[in-house]
Amino acid sequence: MKRSSWEIILAGFIFVGIGVYIAGNSSTPKQQASSNISADSINVKLEGENIRVIKLEKIANLEKLENLENLKNLKNLGNFLPAEVRADLENEIDEVLRQFEDESLKVNINTEDGTVEIQRAVTVGASGSWTSVSPGVFAYVKEFDTDALENMAISIPFGSIEIVSQTSGPGKLTLKASGQIASKEDLESIVSITEQLSSDKATFQIRSASSGNQRNVNLQAVLHVPQNIDLNATTAAGHISSQNITGQQHYRTKGGHITLSELSGKVNAKTSGGHVSLKKSKGTFVLESAGGHISAMETEGDITMKTSGGNLRASKISGGIQASTNGGNIEFQFLQLNGDTFASTAAGSITLQLPTSTDVSLNLSGNTIEIPSAFNFNGENSSGKASGTIGSGTHSVTAKTNYGNVILKAHN
């Protein structure tokens, strides 16, 4: 049997092992469990045997996973394999299990995306130099003082950036490089790192030769910083995620998604080719995408949304929104309208959910305008235009679409 990188083998085994674990640890009788999981499984016909494989679509069940000891049961799969490869499979599993006992793995279960991400934890020192982790995988770890740190910046030429807040301890940058890398010297010819560290400011700039990402080399950056800090994070091609940061923040990527949560302060996030999502945050937000969707949830404060070709959505919002898209739908739900709101789309519908106690002045235009009687609207509504007031008209709501409807909905 051809040998492969043990991380790849282990990842595959874990997915199968998860199915074995769930099926094997059910508290219901075997016959009962079979009927219960039929909707969540598929049947595979192999050598005259039926094998049930748990699908990962309903992955929320995996959050109860406490250990992976049942990986050992994978040896039973050898009963379905030809005898000439069965021994190799069992030896492969034994070797992986031996290495697994000595390794630290990070398993991230995302129930929204339906994915399981398995990463090998980086345990190299904090000296600020590349260290070989496994064939084709290198890590760079640098710790820095944060006692008086006020400003933090990181820029990478490609790959993802994850921002993690912390309440104590030194800051830390962890870079992971993987792919077609022959040696440490080979990696250093592709990627260079510039550090500028002072008591109040830390900057990491990672550059690459023009052929860096063309050689199937990938970078992953994880930055641990104090919660209260001004931050600038940029990648030319990759995703960015940030959580629980307070301060003035700038996030920029030319080719990935931006995921933000539990932020406060003044935040600017822009992507040239991905989606932007924001949740459970408070402050002032400017969210932009050249061609993706933008969403906000459970957020308080003024929000600006701009996209050239995506949908704009917000739910459980308190504040005002300035929003525009050239080719998508707009749907906003306000808990409180604490500021003026403007929504414009060239081709799409606009749906605004407002409290019945809202005090607004309206200026709406579209193919049709729908205003429910629960709002006690006072004004004119005809020929695709509506203007007037609800209540005292404290804040203004302007909604315009060239090809679509404008719909107001009431909630308590």
Residues 247, 228 contacting (CB under 8 angstroms): yes
Instruction: State the pLDDT confidence band at 129, using cuts at 50, 70 and 90.
Output: confident
Q: What percentage of the chain has pLDDT greater than the value 70? A: 68
Per residue in 206-258, pLDDT (tens digit) is 998 765 455 688 999 999 999 999 999 999 999 999 999 999 999 999 989 99
User: What pLDDT sits at residue 56?
Assistant: 45
In angstroms, what is the C-alpha Rg of the chain? 26
Concatenating the DSSP letter of every residue in 136-187 gives TEEEEEEEE--TT--EEEEEESSSEEEEEEESSS-EEEEEEEEES---HHHH
Which is higher by pLDDT, 34 or 226?
226
**pLDDT at residue 128, as a whole number:** 79
**Low-confidence winner among 23-37, 253-267, 296-310 (lowest mean pLDDT):** 23-37
Of 67-76, 138-147, 325-334, the one with minimum mean pLDDT is: 67-76
Residue that wins the pLDDT comparison between 346 and 16: 346
CA nearest to 273, candidates 225, 309, 231, 249: 309
DSSP string, 353-371: EEETT--EEEEEESS-EE-
Length of the chain: 412
Is 281 a residue whose pLDDT tops 90?
A: yes
55 pLDDT band (50/70/90 cuts)? very low
pLDDT by residue (tens digit) across 91-113? 766 665 555 554 455 555 555 45
Residue 255's pLDDT is 87
Task: Supply the pLDDT for residue 43.
Answer: 47
Say if CB 194 and CB 204 are below 8 A apart.
yes
pLDDT band of residue 74 (cuts 50, 70, 90) is: low
Nearest Cα to 81, choosing from 129, 120, 43, 47?
A: 47
Residue scoring higher pLDDT (50 or 365): 365
**Could you tell me which of 248, 225, 231, 221 has the C-alpha nearest to residue 167?**
225
Residue 337 pLDDT level (bands cut at 50, 70, 90): very high
Distance of alpha carbon 321 from alpha carbon 341, whole angstroms:
5
Given a cut of 50, whether residue 27 has pLDDT beyond it is: no
Distance of alpha carbon 43 from alpha carbon 117, whole angstroms: 24
Query: pLDDT-based confidence at 31, cuts 50/70/90?
Result: very low
Instruction: Give the relative orientation of helices 6-24 and 83-102 as an angle to the nearest 10 degrees.
Output: 90
- CB within 8 A of 25, min separation 6: which ones? 70
Answer yes or no: is pLDDT of 66 > 50: no
Which pLDDT score is estimated for 215?
A: 67
Higher pLDDT, 47 or 386: 386
- Of the listed ranges 81-85, 236-240, 369-373, the least confidently predicted one is 81-85
* CA distance linking residue 266 with residue 303, whole number of Å: 10
Percent of the chain at pLDDT above 90? 61
Could you tell me which residues are beta bridge partners of residue 128? none
What pLDDT is attached to residue 400? 97
Of 40-44, 323-327, 341-345, the least confident: 40-44
Q: What are phi and psi of 278, to 5 degrees?
A: -135, 135
Report which secondary-structure segment, H or E, holds 324.
strand 321-325
CA 53 remoteness from chain centre: 28
pLDDT of residue 39: 45
SS3 for 237-275 is CCCEEEECCECCEEEEECCCCEEEECCEEEEEEEECCCC
pLDDT value for 106 = 54
What's the rounded Cα separation, in Å, for the pair 329 and 312? 6
CB atoms within 10 A of CB 331: 20
| Residues 34-50: b if buried by 16+ CB within 10 A, e if exposed | eeebeeebeeeeeeeee
Burial (CB < 10 A; 0-12, 13-18, 19+), residue 283, is buried
pLDDT digits (tens, 9 = 90+) for 166-193: 988 999 999 999 998 999 999 999 999 9
Q: Using DSSP bridges, classify how beta strands 171-179 and 137-144 pair: parallel, antiparallel or unpaired.
A: antiparallel
Q: Give me the chain's average pLDDT, please.
A: 81
From 50-59, 100-109, 207-216, 392-401, the region with the lowest mean pLDDT: 50-59
Are 127 and 180 spatial neighbours (Cβ–Cβ below 8 Å)? no
Question: At residue 277, does pLDDT exceed 90?
Answer: yes
346 touches 326 (CB < 8 A): yes
